[in-house]
């Protein structure tokens, strides 16, 4: 009988603490100079879980053991080892850790004006801008993403993409593979090339320059006394195998014509390429099929008004309201079916966050993509074994197999089809992170801010107490604010910890409220028309929040 | 052959033959076939022909004459009482360019190509079609001494990018003189040149570099040929080729006329300078864009063989533009300077035919000369006069149909046809729709 996790956890902790105390001191002393080793923390066993070892291969009830950052064993007959922390996996599904195949996770770039010129920075690794302590990474993990191909997207030859695990102590230990592929984008720079047309011209000339650089080096090697030594050009040197078509370049494209620009360049210079971003792949399925190259599709769904052809389909067409709505619906569906279109083109498909304005939409958009025609099994492949294969790490990542990296995405329910399903845990290099079940929206309370709040407002030395009653559905919040015998209706939004409300009172005119919410505490400010800005603090009245029972698994 | 085999063969042949002919009969007329019947045809190059039909097959003008019969399945447009002219051409435009028309970071960027950044769904194309425009020459802006390579395209709005490009149109290269170039430099402290004389110097220096580049390649080819002939044992390493430089290649293309110079210029002295510089380097004459003061040196412009592409009567909007006059079209015409009238604008492009009518108003240019300035003369600026710009057998089926004579005040375009396909049809269009499109942002504003 496995004991409940919590007890085991405590005794382990005590024992570990005693043993580790001296070691801890050493780590603190030497951590600055020590390149940290792979995490070798706890051993975990998830028991009685549904194990999806790869798409279509399922162990309905089994145990998976993680030790030393690796998957040690898995199967229906596997028993948890004595030293393992047990996790009751009943009702949970364990997938190979999801891979974000094209990502800006953890990248911290200087402002555009201060940024180093990114025309050709081919020799830089994206890790130069990667912050392992970035709080950003938690948002990715919450979407079940355990590793990511991280790259700058703002360069022309924007440096080397690297495959990183998304939880860990430092860059060396989080790196799975570096470099993976050279990123090539279409963003103008603050100097030359500033416009799209100059970016394309610059791509051409740089490829020529790289090939010529190799010629000079070869000649110099053959007879160094016959010519002045060629200048050291690490960025050009890095591009030589790209220019020779020996290794692919990662073309970051979005609009229909970007795909054509990339294809044309590849034809002219005999390049190999992969495609990343690819938001408008659905407009060029023939091109994708013909190219036959891996496509790392972002789950960014651009607004339909941005999509190529929007104007053409609508302007001056004598459309009725119904016809226009039908067109809008068609285009929404087309945008969401983008990943399916790439899959149907028969090329290797991987899914990604790159280009998304909010990573928090990843799982939601994943389901929409499945609903729009991407088979759920293919969606799983596109998050696991396909990117692992494209990046050349399928021997260590992408499936649940003994000896592979202990990256797992553990969900409650079928994450691909079930709207209620959520990511319950991720394991990255064998480290566990657990997420609470998102609170479902419900009337009278619900969500993160629903309920009744005792609020105190302070303005110009005066204080007043009131009650804020809020109802949350999704990101939409409605409610009432009762203070000093007056009640004002509010409407607004709650997202990522920030509550923003607006209302209007007969006395004060328009009132806006902006507050940060953490658990049952709220702090912020309220703009009271002519009275100016007031500080606001609030506490949720116990029992008024949505009372979704916390289930400890 | 046994009789069994023979009968088998005939049994097979009959249905195959029947099928074959059935197939022929059912061939639908191409989407690029059209018969425009009974209009007054303004051929531009061969007079005005009343009551004349124009037959377009596979996108090309197949026949021009009276009482032509429509081949099976070919759509017939009744143009009786209407005026049929070649599609109007805007020789100087910046429409349909994605993400920037001025690479202003440097003053010399001939390597950039508009062809790389055509925005095929630019909503401004539609309003241009409603003004009878079928082709435009869309260009790099005038912020640079030497801008980029321009592109000649057809306004096949909504078709994929590659279908818009006029295949085989010669390259053209944008240069600019005067205020815009100087002003762009003052916005960017490290950029040279900042004066009008500096612009002249940059032109000379750039052409000289391009000449040196050609010489370097010639020398390399000579050396390589000598090396090929030399004794294999004693000849050493092969000569090192020069590095390909796309900027210098684009510049070098102007020497033999592979690329046509399109030079933004307002002031007469600067245009005179440009003609001198081109002459020094043996560069064939090009086209002056806007050429506001060219009327002052019209005989010289004619003697050097340059052409002009102008606004009909737009001036006074900046210092350089104060001395322009609307009689310039007449003066150019009488001096033998070829002139086209351009819009340079996603708005004015809709009414280029009215711009052309100003040639009649100011000085009484012959009507057909005015029409030439928005058709065949513009085609000559772009080097595509063998394909577009007049109604002649063998040319592209690009047509604008007007309800009145195009230079007449109430004239408006009823239909615009590109290569036999209808791209604008007033009867099918809600032109009054409350739909304003900002061509730059692509946003819809009600």
SS3 B107: coil
Helices (H), A233-278: 234-243, 256-269
What would the mean pLDDT of B253-267 be, rounded to a whole number?
Answer: 97
What does the block give as tokens for B125? 């194309």
Dmax of chain B from CA atoms? 95
Q: Distance between CA B137 and CA B337 in Å, rounded?
A: 20
Over the stretch B233-248, which tens digit does the pLDDT of each residue have? 999 899 999 999 999 9
**Angle at alpha carbon of residue B85, lines to B84 and B87, rounded to 5°:** 125
Among B404, B161, B131, B136, smallest CA distance to A260 is for: B161
H/E element, B57: strand B48-57
Q: B444 and A311: CB-CB below 8 Å?
A: yes
Q: Distance between CA A486 and CA A322 in Å, rounded?
A: 43
What does the block give as tokens for B177? 């003189």
- The pTM (predicted TM-score) of the whole model is 0.83
**Cα A548 → chain centroid:** 27
Among B238, B172, B243, smallest CA distance to B213 is for: B243
φ, ψ of residue A242 in degrees (nearest 5): -65, -50
Residues of B in contact with A308 (CB under 8 A): 121
What does the block give as tokens for A138? 């938690």
| pLDDT surpassing 90 at residue B52 | yes
Pairing of strands A44-54, A85-88: parallel
Residues of B in contact with A316 (CB under 8 A): 126, 429-431, 433, 435
Question: What pLDDT does residue A7 have?
Answer: 41
Residues of B in contact with A194 (CB under 8 A): 100, 103-105
Interface probe with B: pick from A118, A191, A194, A198, most Cβ of B within 10 Å: A198
- Which of the two residues, A519 and B308, has the higher pLDDT score? B308
Question: What pLDDT does residue B396 have?
Answer: 98
Question: What pLDDT does residue A505 have?
Answer: 77
Over the stretch B123-173, which tens digit does the pLDDT of each residue have? 899 999 999 999 999 999 999 999 999 999 999 998 999 999 999 999 999
Question: What pLDDT does residue B26 have?
Answer: 42
Rounded mean pLDDT for each run of 10 residues along chain A, 553 residues in total: 43 47 42 43 94 96 97 97 96 98 94 71 95 95 98 95 97 97 94 95 98 97 93 96 98 97 97 98 98 98 94 83 94 97 98 96 97 98 98 98 98 94 97 88 57 82 81 83 80 85 79 84 83 83 54 29
H/E element, A11: helix A5-30
- Indicate the range of A361-375, B27-41, B204-218 predicted with least confidence: B27-41
Question: What pLDDT does residue A176 have?
Answer: 98
For A294-329, letters b (16+ CB in 10 Å) and e give: bbbbbbbbbebeebbbbbbbbbbeebeeeeeeebee
Question: What pLDDT does residue A493 have?
Answer: 86
Nearest to A212 among B162, B243, B431 (CB): B243
Question: What pLDDT does residue A330 have?
Answer: 96
| pLDDT surpassing 80 at residue B436 | no
H/E element, B377: helix B376-382
Over the stretch B347-361, which tens digit does the pLDDT of each residue have? 999 999 999 999 999
**Residues contacting B216, CB < 8 A, separation 6+:** B242
Residue B127: count of CB within 10 angstroms of its CB: 23
Q: Distance between CA B326 and CA B310 in Å, rounded?
A: 10
Question: What pLDDT does residue A27 have?
Answer: 41
What does the block give as tokens for B35? 């018969």
What would the mean pLDDT of B364-379 be, rounded to a whole number?
Answer: 98
ipTM: 0.91
Half-sphere exposure of A338 (CA within 13 A, CB side): 29
What would the mean pLDDT of B194-202 be, rounded to a whole number?
Answer: 93
Q: A200 and B116: CB-CB below 8 Å?
A: yes
Residues of B in contact with A261 (CB under 8 A): 116
What does the block give as tokens for A430? 């064998």
Query: Using N-to-C axis directions, what is the helix angle for B196-229 and B179-186, rounded to 10°?
Result: 90
Residues in chain B: 446
**Residues contacting B181, CB < 8 A, separation 6+:** B107, B142, B143, B144, B145, B193, B199
| Cβ(B350)–Cβ(B128) below 8 Å | yes
**Cα A508 → chain centroid:** 43
φ, ψ of residue A515 in degrees (nearest 5): -145, 155
| DSSP structural state of residue B97 | B
End-to-end CA distance of chain B: 79
Question: What pLDDT does residue A32 have?
Answer: 37
- What band does B184 get if pLDDT is binned at 50, 70 and 90? confident
Q: Is the dihedral of CA B276, B281, B287, B290 positive or negative?
A: negative
SS3 B174: strand
Residues of B in contact with A225 (CB under 8 A): none
SS3 A300: coil
Question: What pLDDT does residue A291 have?
Answer: 97
Q: Decide if B159 touches A, using CB distance below 8 A.
A: no
What would the mean pLDDT of B271-292 be, rounded to a whole number?
Answer: 98
Question: What pLDDT does residue B10 have?
Answer: 44
Q: Distance between CA A467 and CA A484 in Å, rounded?
A: 10
Q: Is the dihedral of CA A154, A160, A162, A166 positive or negative?
A: negative
- How many angstroms separate the CA of residue B245 from the nearest CA in chain A? 7
Residues of B (17-56) whose Cβ lies below 8 Å from A: none
Q: Distance between CA A393 and CA A395 in Å, rounded?
A: 5
Q: Distance between CA B338 and CA B132 in Å, rounded?
A: 22
Among B8, B89, B13, smallest CA distance to B352 is for: B89
Question: What pLDDT does residue B445 have?
Answer: 45
- The 8 Å CB, 24+ separation contacts for A79-82 are A80/A2, A80/A45, A80/A47, A81/A43, A81/A45
Question: What pLDDT does residue A547 have?
Answer: 36
């Amino acid at each position: 009988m496995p004991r409940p996790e919590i007890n085991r956890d405590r005794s382990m902790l005590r024992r570990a603490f005693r043993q580790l105390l001296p070691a801890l001191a050493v780590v603190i002393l030497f951590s600055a100079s020590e390149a940290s080793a792979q995490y070798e923390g706890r051993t975990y066993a998830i028991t009685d879980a549904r194990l999806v070892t790869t798409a279509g291969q399922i162990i309905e009830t089994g145990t998976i053991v993680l030790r030393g950052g690796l998957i040690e064993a898995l199967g229906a007959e596997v028993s948890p080892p004595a030293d393992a922390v047990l996790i009751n996996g009943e009702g949970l599904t364990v997938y190979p850790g999801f891979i974000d195949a094209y990502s800006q996770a953890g990248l911290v770039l200087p402002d555009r004006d201060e940024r180093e010129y990114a025309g050709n920075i081919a020799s830089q690794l994206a890790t130069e801008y990667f912050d392992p302590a970035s709080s950003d990474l938690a948002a990715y993990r919450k979407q079940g993403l355990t590793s990511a191909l991280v790259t700058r997207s703002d360069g022309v030859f924007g440096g080397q993409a690297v495959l990183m695990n998304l939880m860990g102590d430092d860059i060396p230990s989080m790196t799975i593979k570096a470099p993976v592929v050279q990123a090539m984008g279409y963003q103008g720079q603050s100097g030359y090339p500033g416009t799209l047309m100059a970016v394309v011209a610059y791509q051409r000339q740089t490829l020529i320059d790289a090939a010529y650089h190799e010629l000079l080096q070869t000649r110099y090697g053959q007879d160094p006394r016959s010519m002045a030594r060629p200048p050291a050009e690490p960025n050009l040197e890095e591009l030589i195998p790209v220019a020779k078509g020996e290794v692919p370049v990662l073309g970051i494209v979005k609009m229909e014509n970007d795909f054509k620009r990339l294809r044309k360049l590849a034809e002219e210079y005999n390049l190999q390429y992969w495609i990343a971003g690819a938001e408008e792949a659905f407009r060029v399925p023939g091109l994708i099929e013909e190219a036959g190259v891996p496509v790392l599709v972002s789950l960014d769904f651009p607004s339909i008004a941005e999509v190529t052809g929007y104007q053409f389909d609508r302007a001056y067409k004598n459309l009725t309201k119904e016809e226009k709505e039908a067109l809008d619906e068609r285009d929404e569906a087309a945008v969401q079916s983008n990943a399916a279109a790439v899959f149907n083109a028969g090329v290797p498909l991987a899914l990604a966050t790159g280009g998304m304005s909010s990573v928090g939409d990843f799982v939601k958009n994943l389901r929409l993509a499945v609903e729009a025609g991407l088979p759920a099994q293919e969606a799983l492949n596109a998050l696991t074994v396909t990117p692992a294969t494209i990046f050349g790490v399928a021997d260590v990542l992408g499936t649940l197999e003994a000896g592979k990296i202990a990256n797992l995405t553990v969900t409650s329910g079928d994450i691909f089809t079930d709207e209620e399903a959520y990511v319950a845990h991720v394991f990255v290099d064998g480290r566990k992170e657990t997420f609470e079940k998102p609170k479902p929206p419900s009337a009278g309370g619900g969500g993160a801010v629903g309920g009744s709040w005792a609020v105190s407002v302070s303005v110009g030395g005066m204080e007043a107490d009131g009650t804020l009653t809020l109802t949350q559905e999704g990101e939409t919040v409605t409610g009432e604010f009762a203070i000093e015998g007056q009640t004002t209706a509010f409407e607004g939004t709650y997202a990522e910890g920030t509550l923003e409300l607006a209302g209007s009172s007969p006395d004060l005119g328009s009132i806006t409220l902006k507050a940060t919410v953490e658990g049952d505490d709220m702090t912020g400010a309220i703009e009271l028309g002519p009275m100016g800005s007031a500080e606001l603090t609030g506490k949720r009245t116990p029992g008024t929040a949505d009372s979704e029972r916390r289930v400890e698994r | 052959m046994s009789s069994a085999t023979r009968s088998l063969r005939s049994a097979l042949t009959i249905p195959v033959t029947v099928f074959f002919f059935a197939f022929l009969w059912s061939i639908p007329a191409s989407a690029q076939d059209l018969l425009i019947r009974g209009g007054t045809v303004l051929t531009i190059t061969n007079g005005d022909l009343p009551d004349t039909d124009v037959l377009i097959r596979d996108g090309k003008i197949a026949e021009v004459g009276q009482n032509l019969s429509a081949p099976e399945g070919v759509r017939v447009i009744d143009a009786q009482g209407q005026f049929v002219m070649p599609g109007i051409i805007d020789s100087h435009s910046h429409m349909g360019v994605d993400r920037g028309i001025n690479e202003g970071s440097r003053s010399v960027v001939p390597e950039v190509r508009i062809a790389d950044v055509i925005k095929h769904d630019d909503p401004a194309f539609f309003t241009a079609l409603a003004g009878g425009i079928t082709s435009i020459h869309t260009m790099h802006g005038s912020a640079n001494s030497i801008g980029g390579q321009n592109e000649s395209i057809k306004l096949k709005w909504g078709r994929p990018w590659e279908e818009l490009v006029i295949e085989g149109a010669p390259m053209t290269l944008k240069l600019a003189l005067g205020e815009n170039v100087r002003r762009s430099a003052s916005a960017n402290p490290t950029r040279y040149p900042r004066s009008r004389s500096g612009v002249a110097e940059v032109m000379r220096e750039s052409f000289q570099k391009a000449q040196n580049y050609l010489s370097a390649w010639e020398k390399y080819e000579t050396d390589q040929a000598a090396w090929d002939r030399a004794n294999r044992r004693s000849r050493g390493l092969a000569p090192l080729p020069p590095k390909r430089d796309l900027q210098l290649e684009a510049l070098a293309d102007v020497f033999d006329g592979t690329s046509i110079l399109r030079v933004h210029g307002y002031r007469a002295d600067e245009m005179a300078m440009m003609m001198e510089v081109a002459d020094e380097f043996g560069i064939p004459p090009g086209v002056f864009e806007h050429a506001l003061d060219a009327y002052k040196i019209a005989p010289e412009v004619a003697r050097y063989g340059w052409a002009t592409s102008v606004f009909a009567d737009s001036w006074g909007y900046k210092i350089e533009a104060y001395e322009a006059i609307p009689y310039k079209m007449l003066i150019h015409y009488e001096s033998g300077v070829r002139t086209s009238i351009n819009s340079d604008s996603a708005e004015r492009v809709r009414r280029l035919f009215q711009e052309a009518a100003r040639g009649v108003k100011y000085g009484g240019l012959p009507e057909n000369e005015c029409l030439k300035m928005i058709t065949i003369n513009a085609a000559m600026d772009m080097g595509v006069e063998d394909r577009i710009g007049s109604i002649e057998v063998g040319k592209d089926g690009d047509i604008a149909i007007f309800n009145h004579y195009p230079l007449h005040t109430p004239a408006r375009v009823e239909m615009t046809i590109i290569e036999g396909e209808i791209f604008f049809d007033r009867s099918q269009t809600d032109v009054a729709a409350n739909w304003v499109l900002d061509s730059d942002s692509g946003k819809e504003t009600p």
